Structure 1
Amino acid sequence: MSGWRPAIRIARREARRAKGRAALVLALIALPVTALAFTAAAYDTFTLHPAEQADRMMGTGQAVLSWSATTPVQQRPDQLTPYTTGTPGPAPRPSAERLLAFLPPGSRAIPQATGEQAVRTPAGAGTLATLALDYTDPLAQGILRQLSGRAPVSAGEVALTPAAAARTGARVGDIVTSADGHDTMRVVGTVEQPGDLASATIVRRSAEQRGSLTWLVATPAPLSWDAVKNLNTHGITAVSRQVLATPPSPADRYPDVLENDDGPPAGAFALIAGLAMLEIVLLAGPAFAVGARRRRRDLGLVSAAGGTPAHIRRIVLADGLVLGGLAAGTGAVLGILLAALSRAPLETFLDRRAGAFRIYPVAQATVVGLAVLTGVLAALVPAWIAARQDVVAALRGRRGITRSRRRWLVLGSTLTAAGAAGTITGAVGNDLIIVLAGVIAVELGLVLCTPILVGLVARLAHWMPPAMRIALRDTARNRTAAAPAISAVMAVVIGSLAVSVILSAESASGEGNSLSEPGDVSLYASGEGPAKQAIPPDVITALRSSMPVREVHEVRLPTCPGGQCLVSVQTPVAQACPYFHPENRSSQPSADEQRAARADPRCTGVGGKYSYFGGSAVGLRGSRSFTADDAVVFVVVDDDDTAVAAVAHVPTEDGNQAATALRAGAIVVSDARYIDAGRVTLAVAPQNGPVDHTVTAPAFALPHRPHAPVAMLTATTATALGLGTIPFTVAATTSRMPTPDEQDRLQARLGQEFEVRVDRGTQQDGQPLTILAIVAGVVTLAAAALATGLAAADGRADLATLAALGASPRMRRALSLSQAGVIAGLGSILGTLAGLGTAIAVLITLNQATADAWPVQQPLPIIVPWLNIGTALVVVPLIAMLGAGLLTRSRLPIER
C-alpha cells in the first residue's frame, strides 16, 4: 500500500461506517467555515461598489456639486467637504445658470437641499430632517425609493420616510402640520433613503434656497479629477462618478488635505483569519483524536499486517483531508445561503440597503482552502500519536495515560511566555502580524499545558462529591481525550471574547469630547445677538415638570455692552502651541512636527473637536473666537456651589472651589495654560473682525479638566470688566435619558419661541454587543456540546462499566453532567483569560498606530464586557452540564 489513494479510500469508507463521528467532525469544521463564508459574502454585499455609491450620491448624474465659498478650496476626491487655504469668502447662493457656466456646454443640473423643520407629533412637537428634491427627474433616480403612494407634485405635498411617518403618526392621505401651525402638508407617499433607513425625513419637491444646497449634475462627458480641481478654484467642491471609479493617485491629490484610511488595517484581517484557522484546528482536533482512538485496534491490525508508521499517519491524515474538504464545501455553501437569506434582516439591523448580492469569490476560495488545510492540520497530531502507539497495547484495547510528560509542560510554558512577549512586542510596535503570531503561540502553549492543568485540577477531587470526583479523575486519566476538548472550548471563547472587547471599545470611542453628558437638556430661545430673549421662569417650570430634571442653570455669553462682540480667553504667547495654524486649516504639520506637538504639553487638546450643550456649538480648540467652527467656550454662570459642577461636569469639590473663585471675581478656566502670573487675558473683538482690545482678570484653573475646554465668569465680574452679557441657553442635568415623547411634549408646550435639545451621546443602545453575546454563547455552547459529546462517546465504555457495577441512571447522568462541566468550565476559564489578553493586545496595537499623530485621536478604551464574560464563564458551562445530564441514556448496552 503506497500513495494517498488507498488512504483516501479507507477514509471514505470509515466516514460512511462511522456516520455519527463523521457528522460531528463535519459540524466542528463547518461551523467556523460557515461563519467566515457568511461574513465574507455579507461584507462584499454591503460594501458598495463605486457605481452603487455614485447612484446614491448623485442619481444617474455624473457628479454632485456644492458651492460653499467664493475663494479657492481643496477637497478629498470622495467628499464634498471644503478645505480653505485662507479666510473663506461669503457663502454664495448661486443659481443653476451661474453654476452651469463653470461646466461643459450641454450640462444640466437640478438642486437638492437638506434642512430641518419642526412639526406636530402625537406626543407634541419634534424636529425632523427635510429633503427638497424632485426625485421624479431621471437625474435623481436612485437617491430615493418609492414605497407607497406617489411623489409630491406641488408645494403642499410631501413624502415621508418610514421613520418620519412613525414619528408624526401620519399615513398616506393624512395632513402633517408644522409646529407653529402655519404650514400644512399632505402626505402623498412614503419613500426610503437607501443609505439611511432610520432617517426621519420629510421630502418636498422644490429645493428652496435654504439649508444645505447641492446640485446633481449631468455632463456630456465624465468629470475628471482635473475638472474637479478646476471647479475648486471657484469655491466649488464636487464628487465625480468617474473619480469614484478611478481615484487619483496620491501625487495628484491635494498634499495639505489630510486623508485618513477609513478601512480596517490589513493586519486585522490576518489576525481574524489566523484566529479562525487556529480555532478550526482546535475544534476538529478532538474529533480526529477520538476517531483515532476508536480505530486504534484497526490501526493496530494494519501495523500487525506490515504497515509502517507512515502508512498509519497517512490513513489518519486522509480522514482530515476527506472530512475537511467535505466540511469546507458544506460550510461555504451554508454561509453563502445564510448571507442571502439574512440580507433583509441585516439591512434592517444596519439601517441601510445592501448593494448587489456578491459572495466575494476570492475570500470564499481562501476560506475553503484554509478549511481543507486546517482539517489536515487538525489530524496531524492524532496521526503522529497513532503512528507511535504500541501495537500490542492497541490490539489488547488498553488505553489512557495517568501522567503527562514534563517536557510538554516545559515546551507549553516556553511557547506561552514567548507568545506573550511577541504579542507585547507587536502591540508596542504596531504590527498586527506579530500580534497574531504571538496569540497563536500563546494558544498553542496553553493547549500543550492543558493536560498538566487537568492533572492539577484533578487533585481537587478529594473534596468533591462522588460524581465530580470520578469525572475529575477520569478526565485526568484520559487526558488525550479531555485536553483537546478543553482546548476546543478555549479556542471559541478566546475568539468570541476578543471580538466582544474590541467592539465594546469601538462603541465607547468618541465619547468624552462633549462638555455635556448624555441625557442633559438644553433650552434655546429664539432671536439672535442682543435681540435674543431671556428664558422666563415659567419655561423653567415647564422643563422641570416635563423632564426628569435634577439641576437647572442659566448659561449666558459675555459680549460688549453696546452691541454684540466676541470675548475669548487668549493663550499667553509662551504657552501657545507653535504647531497649530487656525488661519490655514488645510495645512497639516509634518510627521516630525506632529510627534513634537504630541510631546509638547502646550499642545494638549489643541486641534481637538468638542461639542457643547446638546451640539449647539462644535468647536476646534486653538482659536481665539467662539464661532460655529472654532470654539473654546466662554460662558457666564451663577456663582452658587452647584453651577460649575453641573455645567462643566467636574467633581463637586472642584465646583465648590470654582464657586469660591467666581464670587471673588476670578475667571474659572479648564486649563492652567491660559493663566499667566495668576491672571488671564481676554480678547475682545467685533464679529468677524480683529481683536479690538484686551482685558486682564484674576483666574482659577479647575483641578480636574472637564471633557471639553471651557472658561466661566459671573455677570458681576463681566460688568466689572466692562463687558455685558446676552442669554444663551438653559442647561439641565437629568436623572435618566429623556424619551423622544417627553422631548416632543415639552417642545409643543413651549412653542416655536424655544428649542429643546437633548444630548443623546453616541446613542449606543448595546444591541450589537447583546447580539454578539448571544451568537458567541451559541457558538461556544455548540463547540462545548460537540467537544463534550466526543469525550462522552470516548468514555461510553466507562459508563457501561459503571452500569454493570450497579451504578444508578442518576449516577451516570451526574457523571456525564460533571464531565461536561469540567470540560466546558476549564475551557471557558482559560479562554476568558487568553481572550482578554488577546483583545487588550489588539487594542494597544490599534492605539499605537495613532500614538504619534496630532491632533491627538481618541484612543480605544479597554472595557470589560461583563455580559459576554458571564455568558462564557457561567451560562455556557451550566447549559452544557444540563444538556449532558438530560441527554445521557438511562440504559446502556454492555460493552467488552
Structure 2
Amino acid sequence: MLALPIIGVSAADLTLRSAELSPEQSLTRMIGAADARVNASYMSGAINQSPDGTASAPVGGYKDYDPSKSPREKPAPVEAALPPGAQVLKDSGGYAKVRTTHGLLDTHLRELDTHSPLVKGMITLDRGRLPESSGEVIATRAFLGDSGLFVGSSVTPRGATSPYKIVGAYELPDELERPEIIAPPGTLIAPLNKAVSESGGRAVSPDDTYLVKVGGAGVTWDAVKAANAKGLLVISRAVILDPPADSEVPLYRDEPKAMFERDGNKVVETAILATVAGLAMLEICLLAGPAFAVGARRSRRQLGLVGANGGDRRHIRSIVLSGGLVLGAVAAVTGTVIGVLLTVLLRPVLEETLGNRFGGFDFRPLELAGIALLAVITGLLAAIVPAVTASRQTVLASLTGRRGIRKANRVLPVLGLIAIAVGAAIALYGTTSQLGSTVVAGGSALAELGIVALTPVLVGLFGRLGRWLPLSPRLALRDAVRNRGRTAPAVAAVLAAVAGTVAVATYEQSNDVQMRQEYRADLPHGTGLLAANENGAYKEVPALREALGKQLPLAQRADIERLVVGKPSCESFSSDPGCGRVEVITPKEQRCPLYEDSKEDDAFPVEQRKELRQDWRCKESRHGTQHSVLVGDEKVLSVLAVTDPGSVAALKAGQAISFDKRQVKDGKLTLRVITDPGENDIMRGRYDETPGEDKVLPVHQAPDSVEGWGVELILPPSAAKAAGLATAPVGSYFSLDGIPTSEQRQKLDGEIDRMGVEASLRIEKGYEGDNSLVMLALAIFAGIVTIGAAGIATGLAQADAEADLKTLAAVGAAPRVRRTLSGFQCGVVALMGVVLGSVAGILPAVGLRLTEQRAAEALHQESIEQGFMAVTEAVPFVPISVPWETLGGLLVVVPLGAALLAALVTRSSGALARRAAG
C-alpha cells in the first residue's frame, strides 16, 4: 500500500528526467555537429526572432504588418548572410504519397547528404548502410513498420517514373514515429516534381533549410540579427547555449515576451501534480490508517504488558509510530529500487511510448530521496491516529481484551461542517472570479475534506437504517458503526475516488450535451460526398464513382463537376501561367461594408460594426466543399434534401440555382472568367478588381429557409455549356440505403488506395460524442478503487472481529452466515462511500460549468458590444447535465459487485479457538 505509489512516482521521475534533454543534446538532434540551422522566414522582408529561433515577427511587430501590401521577395542566398569560408549543407524535405504494400502512405521525403560530418547526431542508422548514389534511399523504422516494406525492398513515390531501393533503416531520435525516407541531394524531390509536372499531378513543395559550420565562436547573436535583416531565421548553437539578455532582443521590444513563451502552463501543471500527490497521500493515509489501527488492536495485549511494566502513554505511542516509521522506510527503499529497475528494464517501451529516445539515464538522488521520504512521512502520518488511540487504552482493558467505551469526537464534525460551508462558498465565488477554475478546484477540495471529516458522523447516521434490515446486513452495519475508526477511513477513501469520477463524468456529460447542441452537420443525415482532393486526378473520378456504387449501399448518386480555366489539373489557388479561375462577382452595393474597406473592422465605430454584423450582407458564408460553384443536375438537389418546388423546377429547366442572395441582382448573376489571377488576389480571396471576361447568367434564388450545405451556386450542365464554360469531374454526392458497415468502408478505402488517388469520403452520421468510452473507463476505475478499498476494510473487519466470528460458529450459526456477513460488510462500506462520493463530486463539476458559463457570457457580451460577430441576444448554451447512467452503475453495480466478490473469497467456516486456561 505504501510502496506502490513510490514505485510509480520514482519511475515517472526517472523517466521524465531522462526524456528531458539538455540544451546540448537537443541541439545535436536538431542541427547535428553544425553551428546553426538557417532557413527563410515565411514572412516577407526583415524579421526579428527569439534567441532560440522558435518565434519570429516582422520588424515593428504585427500591428502594422500587412502581407498583402508586402509582396514576398525571394530570400537572399544563405551564403550572403554568412562569413566567408562557412561550410553549408542543404537539408530539403516535403510531404508526398508513397506506394506501399497496403496502398498509399503520407511520407516525408528528404534530401540530405548523410555522409557529411555535420549530420552526426541527427539520425541513427539502425541497420543496412547509408545511400551513396541516385536510386538509393534509407527509411525510418516507423516507415518500414507502417508500409510493410523492409531493407532491400523498392519504394516508389506516387508519380515517380522509377523505384528507389531501400538500403538502410534509421531513426530520428526525437521523432520515432515519423515515416520518412532520405535520398542523396537532388535525387528524389526534383526528379519527382519533374515527373508529376509532366503528368499533371501535384508537385512536392520542399522546405529548404541549411546546416552551417563557421568555426571559431560560432554564429553569434550579432550574426543572427544580421541574417534576420535579410529575412532569414537562425537556430544558433552559441546563442542558445549563451542567450542574450532580453534587453538585447529586438523582438521583445516590438511584442511582449509573454506572447512567445512556451512554458505558460507550467504553473497549472505543477498545481495538477501537487494535487495528484496530495490525493495519493490522502488515499494511502485513509487506507493504511485502519491497517495500523487493527494491528495496534491485535497487539493490545503486548502494549498492555508495556504499560503494566511501567511504560506510559508516550512509550505506547512511540511503539506504534515506530511501526509506521519502519514500514514507511521499508516501503521507501523497496518502492524506489523497484521503480528504478522497472524504468531501466522498460526503457525501450517507454521511449517508443514517448516517441523519442532518452539522452541517457538522468538520476536525481535528491529527488528520488524526496520521493522515498514521502513514503516514510505517509507511513508515519497513517500511524498517528492509531498510536493516539492505543495510548488511551487502560492497562486493564488492554490485558483483558476489552475495548472500553470511547466518546465520539465532537470537534471533528464541527470542523467538517465549517470546511464544507467555506469550501462551497469559495467554489461559488470562483464561478465569478477572474481566477476561475483554480478557485473552484480549491474550494471543492476543501469541501470534500470537510465531508471526509464528517464521515464518522455520517457512518453513524447510516447505522440507524439497521433496524429495518435482516440479520446479516444488520450485523454488518452495526459492526461498521461500532468500529468507525476502521470504517470511516475506508469510506472516505471510496468517497474520494468516487467524487473525482463523478466530477469528471458530470463535466464530460455536460460538455457533450453542449457539443451536441452546437454541432453543425455538413450534409443531410445519411448522405455523403466523395471528391478527388487533387485536380490532377480528374481522369480517375469515373473510377471513383464506380467503386462508390460497388462498395456502398447507394440509394441515389448525384455526379458533380467543377468549372475550369486552362488545364483541368490546375490547382484551386494556383497562380501558374495557363491556370485561371471562375469566380462569382458580388454586386458592389451587396457586399459587406466591413470587408470592403482596406482596414476592415477598424474603419468603423463600435456601434456601426455591431449593426453591420447583423446586416444580411455580412452573413457568414458556409463552405461544405472546396468548390462553392458546382455543375450538376436536379439529382444534386434531391440528395441535398432541397425540396423547394421552384428550385427543383428551375434546375430542371436549365436555370442556375443560387443559395446566396448577395450574389444575385435583378434575377441575374455574374461569373468572371479570369485567365491570369494575381498572387495577391489569391491571398486576399478578392477578384472584383481582377480583369477577366464576365458571364451574366439568369438564376433562380432559393428561399432563405433552404439550406445549401456550403454550395453557393449550382449550374446545370446545359447552362455551363451555353456560357462557354469548361468543366471537369470532381466527385459525387450520394444518399445511402442503410448505414455502411466497417467492412464496406475498408473495401472502398482499399479501392481508392489501389487507384493511387487522393480522395476524401465523408458520410454525415450526425453528432458522435466520444465520451461514452471515457464514462465507461471512469466507472471501471471508480469500481476498482471502490472494491479495493471496501475489500481492504472487509479484510480488516474480519481480522478485527475474528473472535466474534468464532463465537457465531460456536453457538451454531450456519456456515453461510460468515460468508454473508463478510459480503454485507464489504457492500456496506462500498455503498456508503459511493453515496457520499456521488454527492461530493457534483459540486466541482457544477462550479466548473458555471465558470465556463460566466466566461462564455462575458465573451458573448463583448462580441455584441464590439460587433465582432453576427450574434443574437440569446445567452450562450452551457448546460449542466448529470450522468445518471454512470451514477446508477456506481450506486448499484459497484456495491453489489463488492459484496459478491467479498462473499466468494471468504471461507464459510473458521477454526474454533481453544478455551483459554483459567
* TM-score for the superposition, normalised by structure 1: 0.73
Which residues in structure 2 correspond to 1:729-744 (within 5 Å)? 729-730=730-731, 735=740, 742=747
Whether 1:378 aligns to 2:374 is no
Alignment of 1:623-772 (within 5 A): 634-636=628-630, 668=659, 686-689=677-680, 691=686, 693=688, 712-715=712-715, 729-730=730-731, 735=740, 742=747, 745-751=750-756, 754-757=757-760
Residues 81-140 of structure 1: CA deviation (Å, up to 9, x unaligned): 765543277777879xx3122123343222222223434333444443322223332222
1:524 pairs with 526, 529, 532, which one? 532
Between the aligned partners of 2:157 and 2:356, the Cα distance in structure 1 is: 28
SS in 2 for 1:276: helix
Alignment of 1:47-58 (within 5 A): 47-58=20-31
State the one-letter code of the partner of 2:679: N
**1: distance between equivalents of 2:126 and 2:285?**
48
Give how far 1:500 is off: 8.4
1:37 maps to 10
Which secondary structure does the structure 1 equivalent of 2:361 belong to?
A: coil
1:415 aligns with 2:419: yes
| Corresponding residue of 1:477 | 482
CA contact (8 A) 2:582 2:671 kept: no
- Counterpart pick for 2:905 among 874, 879, 886: 886
How far, CA to CA, are the matches of 1:504 and 1:50 in structure 2?
Answer: 43
The 3 A distance-change label for structure 1 pair 235 and 267 is: same
- Is the aligned partner of 1:59 residue 2:32? yes
What letter is aligned with 1:42?
T
Distance 2:21 2:879 in 1: 27
The residue identity in structure 2 corresponding to 1:72 is A
Q: What is the CA-CA distance between 1:414 and the residue it aligns to?
A: 3.5
> For the residues of structure 2 that align with 1:742 and 1:248, how far apart are their CA atoms?
58
1:87 to 2:97 alignment = no
Pick closer, same or farther for the CA change 1:143–1:890 going to 2, 3 Å.
Answer: farther
Closer/same/farther in 2, CA of residues 333 and 416 from structure 1, 3 Å limit: farther
Partner amino acid, structure 2, of 1:65: V
Q: One-letter code of the match for 2:46?
A: P
Coordinate RMSD, CA, aligned: 5.8
Distance 2:149 2:745 in 1: 17
**C-alpha separation in 2, matches of 1:598 and 1:789:** 68
Alignment equivalent of 2:358, drawn from 354, 358, 368: 354
1:799 corresponds to 2:805: yes
Q: Rg larger in 1 or in 2?
A: 2
1:824 aligns with 2:830: yes
Secondary structure, in 3 states, of the residue corresponding to 1:101?
A: helix
Say if 1:271 and 1:433, in contact at 8 Å, map to a contact too.
no
1:765 and 1:287 mapped to 2: Cα distance? 37
Q: 1:519 to 1:833 in 2, by over 3 A?
A: farther
**Bigger mean CA deviation after superposition, 863-872 or 349-358:** 863-872
Give yes or no for the alignment of 1:453 onto 2:444.
no
Does the CA contact (< 8 Å) of 1:267 and 1:433 recur in 2?
A: no
Q: Which of 203, 210, 215 is equivalent to 1:215?
A: 210
CA contact (8 A) 1:143 1:194 kept: yes
User: Is this contact kept in 2: 1:662–1:668, CA < 8 A?
Assistant: no
- Deviation per CA, 1:708-766, whole angstroms, max 9, x where unpaired? xx563322699799996865843768846789964663235534xx4224679999999
SS at match of 1:326: helix
Pick aligned residue for 2:123 from 144, 165, 190: 144
Distance 2:396 2:210 in 1: 85
> What whole-Å deviation, never above 9, does each CA across 1:439-475 have from its counterpart, x for those lacking one?
4323322223323433444455466554334322322
Residue by residue over 1:655-704, the C-alpha shift from the partner in whole angstroms, topping out at 9 and shown as x without a partner, is 989988997977547xx9x9999999999894434545389997876799
SS in 2 for 1:540: helix
CA shift digits 1:176-203 (9 cap, x unpaired):
2444572212121222233333333333
Moved more, 297-306 or 806-815: 297-306
Q: Tell me, which stretches of 5 or more residues in structure 2 are unaligned? A: 59-64, 191-204, 567-578, 690-695, 870-876
Shift of 1:641: 9.2
Residue in structure 1 matching 2:140, options 149, 161, 174: 161
Look up the equivalent residue of 1:374 and give its one-letter code: T
Aligned equivalents of 1:333 and 1:872: distance in 2?
A: 39
Quote the offset at 1:156 in angstroms: 1.0
- Residue deviations 1:243-263 (CA, integer Å, cap 9, x gap): 444566665344448436454
Match of 2:795 among 781, 789, 798: 789
Q: Counterparts of 1:510 and 1:204 in 2: how far apart (Å)? A: 46
Give the Cα separation in 2 of the matches to 1:877 and 1:580. Answer: 67
Aligned counterpart in structure 2 of residue 564 of structure 1, from 581, 587, 592: 581
Q: Give runs of aligned pairs for residues 183-198 of structure 1, distance below 5 A.
A: 183-198=162-177
Q: Which residue of 2 aligns with 1:589?
A: none
1:367 Cα deviation from its structure 2 partner: 3.1
Give 1:555 deviation, angstroms: 6.4
Q: Distance in 2 between matches of 1:355 and 1:770?
A: 38
2:45 alignment counterpart: 71
Which deviations, in whole Å up to 9, do the C-alpha atoms of 1:796-849 show, x marking residues without a partner? Answer: 222222222223443312322222232234334544554565567678879999
CA contact (8 A) 1:402 1:477 kept: no
Give the drift of 1:364. 3.4
- Matched to 1:890, the amino acid is S
> Where does residue 234 of structure 1 map in the other structure?
230
1:826-845 alignment runs, 5 A limit: 826-831=832-837, 834=840, 838=844
CA distance in 2, matches of 1:507, 1:357: 42
| Change over 3 Å in CA distance of 1:455–1:503 after alignment to 2 | same
What residue identity is the alignment partner of 2:450?
Answer: G
1:586 aligns with none
1:738–1:758 CA contact under 8 A, matched in 2: no
- Counterpart CA distance in 1 for 2:849 and 2:131 is 50
1:271/1:436 contact within 8 Å kept: no
* 1: CA distance, partners of 2:555 / 2:17: 48
Q: What letter is aligned with 1:135?
A: T
Distance in 2 separating the partners of 1:675 and 1:309: 92
1:291 aligned to 2:295? Answer: yes
Deviates more, 1:514-523 or 1:68-77: 514-523
One-letter amino acid of the structure 2 residue matched with residue 176 of structure 1:
V
Superposition pairs of residues 476-625 of structure 1, within 5 angstroms? 476-494=481-499, 522-524=530-532, 526-527=534-535, 533=538, 536-546=541-551, 563-564=580-581
Q: How many Å separate the matches in 2 of 1:197 and 1:866?
A: 41
Distance 2:879 2:182 in 1: 38
Distance 2:720 2:28 in 1: 57
Partner of 1:259: 260
Asked whether the equivalents of residues 347 and 354 of structure 1 are also in contact (C-alpha less than 8 Å), the reply is yes
Amino acid at match of 1:190: A
The one of 809, 817, 829 aligned to 1:811: 817
What amino acid is the match of 1:755?
A: E
Relative distance call for 1:645 and 1:541 in structure 2 (3 A) is closer
Q: Which residue of 2 aligns with 1:332?
A: 336
> What is the deviation of 1:237?
1.9
- Three-state SS of the structure 2 residue aligned to 1:807 is coil
Q: What stretches of structure 1 of length at least 5 have no aligned partner?
A: 1-27, 584-592, 618-632, 647-651
Contact preservation (8 Å) 1:152, 1:205: yes
Q: How many residues align?
A: 819
Instruction: Quote the Cα distance in structure 1 between the aligned partners of 2:78 and 2:209.
Output: 11
Structure 2 residue 327 is the aligned partner of structure 1 residue 323: yes
Letter in 2 for 1:101: A
Q: What percentage of residue pairs aligned between the two structures are identical?
A: 32
Mapped to 2, the partners of 1:462 and 1:657 lie a distance apart of 73
Deviation at 1:771, TM superposition (A): 8.7
